[in-house]
Amino acid sequence: MLSADFLALPQAELHLHLEGSLQLETVRALAAKYGAPVSAQDILQRYAYRDFLEFIETFKWVSSLLRAPEDFALALHGLGEQLLAQNVVYAEVTLSVGVMLLRHQSPEKNFEAILAAAESLRSRGLQLNFVFDAVRQFGAEAAMKVVEAAERCSSKSIVAFGIGGDELSIPAKEFRAVYEKAGIIGLHRLMHAGEVGGPEEIRQAIELLGAERVGHGIAAVRDPSLMDLLAERRIPLEICPQSNIRTGALAKQLELSAAQIEQHPLPSLFRHGIPVVLSTDDPAMFHSDLRSEYENARRMGLQEEELKQITKMSFEYAFINEDDKAALQRVQRATSALR
């Protein structure tokens, strides 16, 4: 078990989808609001996936319940409560803006409601920034519209642009102009890669798109030269262990019918010198939280001192200005010194 000292440390989380954080009671409330009531058992059955594509279908269903700005505000308040309960003081929350646009919603109005909710959480000690996310299988033109939405919102709280979804659907090279535009307007660049795809997806995300952090990236363990590259360039992997189990991504990478958490490559990646930030991805959908992910890392064989290094990396590789980063790191160091 993790020690009480470790559990008391301030934490940061960098790979976290708002739509995947909706707890059962919130899902039921939204479904009832829109005339399609569901039971808790119905939701749990939907949250039982056999592979990554089944997870994507469930994610589409959950996100379909977010239809108005106040729905997004409700979701963020719920997520904020979850984070505060785990001593999280900073998080970067991914918003599926590509899905908003597909459903003819206004990202600007939704984001305005989200920002208002975030401000109320900031007064309680939780600082939030946001990632505008496109869906890979929707194509480059749709992804460019997500970048343009971020530009219209014109908020310092939008710190990055990323692409999730099915990484095997469209080649990374098709998105070069999109990432160039994101960089021009001052956004950091993220990419889900090496989750169900191979090491080449990670390499292309870095070399073709300029990705500064890689979502998941567990396929890197299959390519020693890529591991060297990630370590040398200090490009972090956003590791989400329970997600990799529940979507079947880890089993796919290991070429097994099923995988156990103890088989996760996190220790190998971390001990190779690759920066790692531990995250939950879609915590409600994977029945997880940040504390349990650290417990998963401990079960893989990482020692508590190594886990403390990972907590520090989550602050070090956050997309915040140096003054804010230094302030958060001072809180983290001060708390650690008292333990």
The active-site residue out of 13, 19, 167, 195 is 195
Sheet of 237-239, strand order: 11-17, 88-95, 127-135, 158-164, 188-193, 213-216, 237-239, 276-278
Q: What count of other Cβ atoms lies within 10 Å of the Cβ of residue 104? A: 6
* Contact (Cβ atoms closer than 8 angstroms) between residue 131 and residue 93: yes
Q: How many CA atoms lie within 13 A of 47 on its CB side?
A: 21
- Does residue 180 carry a catalytic annotation? no
The answer for residues whose C-beta is within 8 angstroms of residue 337's C-beta and 6 or more apart is none
Residue 262, amino acid? E
- The Cα 29–Cα 181 span in angstroms is 38
* Contact (Cβ atoms closer than 8 angstroms) between residue 88 and residue 27: no
Q: What count of other Cβ atoms lies within 10 Å of the Cβ of residue 158? A: 24
Burial grade of 204 (CB within 10 A; 0-12, 13-18, 19 or more):
buried
- Catalytically active residues are 195
